[in-house]
Amino acid sequence: MRALLVLLVMTSTAMADSQVINLLQFQTKSADAWERVHRQSDSLPLTQTELEKLAKAGIAERSIIEMMRTRKVLAVANADNLIKLKSAGATDAMISAMSAYAVAPNDGFDLAIRVDVKTPKSVQHAPYLFVEVWHTGKNRQEAMLHADLRGLFARGAVTVQRDRSDPLLPDAIRTVQFRTKVRTRHPGQLQVRVKLSQRPGLLTLGASNGKSLPGVKSYALSYPAVSLDSDCRLDLQAKRDELLKDSFGLTGGRLECRWD
């Protein structure tokens, strides 16, 4: 067998059956070697708990490393988790394999926002939409998003339909949709805070103690350190006051996230 390994090669005879190879190029005349390097599994990635169970059960080192390689590891390869795995009976080669095959930690999540604004005919005084992502554990702002609904309505960048529930009040429902990436590497409890305001320059929707300001709607989410998916969807419903043209309020909302 002739093998060309680029980037990382481990040549120790003692580690030949359990080596971790990260390669850019691999050439060999051995069908078995080629199949082993390119083998992948359709099973879900291994979790930290599953790896600890396998190590405690005495499963062969080579088998566990092969499962890590083909399935990947859904855990953060930090010092605490590596020590836990070692305490469960894992070998040094298995510890190295967890670091090599762990899924990359989350560095943010995709946030899709849909806003349905029910109004009579006039939208001249439509408000600004503010969405703040707040980390409750660290008491810090992760992101501040804003959109000029008035400008979007004026440009016609909306979908318009009619509310047929009451023929005497033919309100129009204008729908605006956004999608953005919220960057954060800090897992834990987050709040997505929402406010409609005629003021264009709000910098935060919270007070100095971290609590939401009056009139702000909050939606909680638990942000994981690592996950297969990282998609959230925020659906909001708003309505203009029947008498006050510049008074808009949130009447409902829902936040849903998918992590796996």
Q: Is the pLDDT of residue 39 over 60?
A: no
How much is the pLDDT for 15? 41
> Could you tell me which residues are beta bridge partners of residue 244?
none
Residue 6 has pLDDT above 90, yes or no: no
| pLDDT tens-digit series, residues 187-210 | 999 999 999 999 998 999 998 888
| Contact (Cβ atoms closer than 8 angstroms) between residue 142 and residue 190 | yes
Least confident range of 53-62, 116-125, 225-234: 116-125
Question: 143-181 burial, b for 16+ CB within 10 Å, e for fewer?
Answer: bebebebbebbeeeebeeeeeeeeeeeebbbbebeeeee
The average confidence (pLDDT) of the chain is: 83
What whole-number percentage of the chain has pLDDT above 70? Answer: 79
How confident is the model over 67-82, as a mean pLDDT?
94
